[in-house]
Every structure is written in structure tokens, then in C-alpha cells.
Amino acid sequence: MDKPVNQKAWFLVLPVLFIVAISAIIPLMTVVNYSVQDTFGNNQFFWAGTEWYEELLASSRFHDALVRQIAFSAIILAIEIPLGVAIALTMPRSGVWASACLVLMALPLLIPWNVVGTIWQVFGRGDIGLLGAAVNNLGIPYNYTQDTLSAWVTVVVMDVWHWTSLVVLLAYAGLRSIPDAFYQAARIDGASRLSVFRYIQLPKIKHVLIIAVLLRFMDSFMIYTEPFVVTGGGPGNATTFLSIDLVKMAVGQFDLGPAAAMSIVYFLIILLFSWIFYTVMTGKRPPMHGENR
């Protein structure tokens, strides 16, 4: 006879569900309500249906911002994930130096986002900034306020400096969880360093890397404060990502209906890409003919 399942534990989850409903679901429904209406002020709303969604999806402004956002996230993932794993592999496993490395890696994560933007805004200036002055003295033209390439390099390098530590800490935790017996067996078999990484370390930290990729993708896809402080979305619209364009639309232009529609589409895009990443990284190949399932 099956043992009855105790469902009383669900009562412990109810406070969390209540908090989530207040802090997430209700505001989301408010945004959905704004996205299908129009307002001219004085708290007067008029039904607009899907007009804002159709206008948004046909807008070249939205398409350009989306392309810039996808390109930025792709560059960030391509740099920070391999770099973070490489740094984690070189860190000592124990001792004083291991603690020192962990503290150094955690320092960039403790700096507020607006402070990071301010630091790099000054650091990259050609007249008083160490980075800008050094690059210009080498004969390389660098001005993130007027040159598109310089602006992109600045924003990318700034994000790499700020957030690679997160990947390092996650990868390092995964590497530390691998039992020494695996390394001992590899040494007995005469496995090379590359073979150890490919067949032992990489499979063991796979789930940690999935978390790192998802966290870095979602955060890079929603980045706002740092590039806004450094470049303001410029020069022109070169670094105007979706988040910056959304704030300009909602706060600068006070177009609540189109901004709400863009928020919903933005949210759905993040969910879609996150699901794709998770599905691809956790997917298992189908069993071949003759293999056991």
C-alpha cells in the first residue's frame, strides 16, 4: 500500500508565493494592461488592442536595438565564459593564496553598477583617464564619446572586468567539488592536462557552467546602468541597447503604451533565449541503435 503523501509542507511555500504574486505577477499584469491601452494624461485610458505590439515589431528602431543587444550578449558570453573557466583552472585549490585569489575575484562584484560606470567613464577619457591617455599615446585613436568602435570596446571591456569574476567563482566551486580520486586515476593512466580537462573537469562542471551562462546572458541582455553612465547610448545610437531604448521611451518620451508593449516583448525574448540556452546545454543525444536506453 502506498504511503500517504504529507502535503502540509506546501503551507511553508504559501508566504513565498504570496510575496512573488505581489512583487512580480501584479506589476506584470499592470504592464500588460498599459500595453493594450493609450493615455493622454489625467489618468484617462483608451483601448488600443495590439496596436503598440504591431507598431513595435515593425519598428526599425526596435530591430536595431535588438541586434545590438544580441551582439553584445554574444560577445560577452564568448569572452567571459572561457576566460572565467581558464582563470578558475589556474587558481590554487587550497591555502592562503586560494583565499587571496577568491577575495580578489569577489572585489569587482561588490562595486555598485553606477560606480562601475563612473569609474570607466573617467578611466577611458582621453585627457585625464589612464586608459584613454595610454591608448592615445600609443598612436591608437580612442574616444568612446565619438567613435563607435571605441564605445563598444569600452563597454565590453568594462563588463568583462566587472562580471568575469562571477564565472570564475562558479567554475572554481565546481572544480573544487571534483574528488581527488579522479585526478589520481588520470595520473595513473598518464592522461595529459588537456585530457583531464576534457574528460574529467569539463563534464563535472557542466551544470555549473549552465548556471553561469544563464546568469551572464540574462544580466548582459538586461544591462542598463553601466553603458548608460559611460556612453549614454552613444555615440549616436551605437550603444543604445534594448534597456536604454526602453527607458528613453518610457521616461524620456513618456510613451507608456509603447513602452509597456516593449517591456512585454523584451521579457518574452529573454525567456525564449534562456529556454533555448538551457535546452541546448542540458540536451542529451538520442540513443543509437543497439544502445540501452
The pLDDT of residue 293 is: 46
pLDDT mean over 197-221: 92
CA atoms within 13 A on the CB side of 289: 0
Residue 173 belongs to some domain of the structure: yes
Residue 191 belongs to some domain of the structure: yes
Residue 280, CA distances (Å) to 72, 150, 206, 217, 229 in order: 20, 33, 12, 14, 35
Residue 39 belongs to some domain of the structure: no
The conformation of residue 1, written as its DSSP 8-state character, comes to -
pLDDT mean over 226-242: 92
Residue 10 belongs to some domain of the structure: no
Residue 41 belongs to some domain of the structure: no
The conformation of residue 37, written as its DSSP 8-state character, comes to E
Residue 3 belongs to some domain of the structure: no
> Which residue segment(s) compose the domain that 255 sits in?
55-282
List the CATH number of the domain containing 132: 1.10.3720.10
Give per-residue pLDDT as tens, 105-124: 999 999 998 999 999 999 99
Residue 140 belongs to some domain of the structure: yes
Q: Residue 291: pLDDT above 60?
A: no
Give per-residue pLDDT as tens, 171-197: 999 999 999 999 999 998 888 999 999
Number of domains the chain is built from: 1
Residue 128 belongs to some domain of the structure: yes
Q: Residue 68: pLDDT above 90?
A: yes
The pLDDT of residue 127 is: 83
Give per-residue pLDDT as tens, 122-139: 999 888 888 898 999 999
Task: Give the helix/strand (H/E) hosting 253.
Answer: none
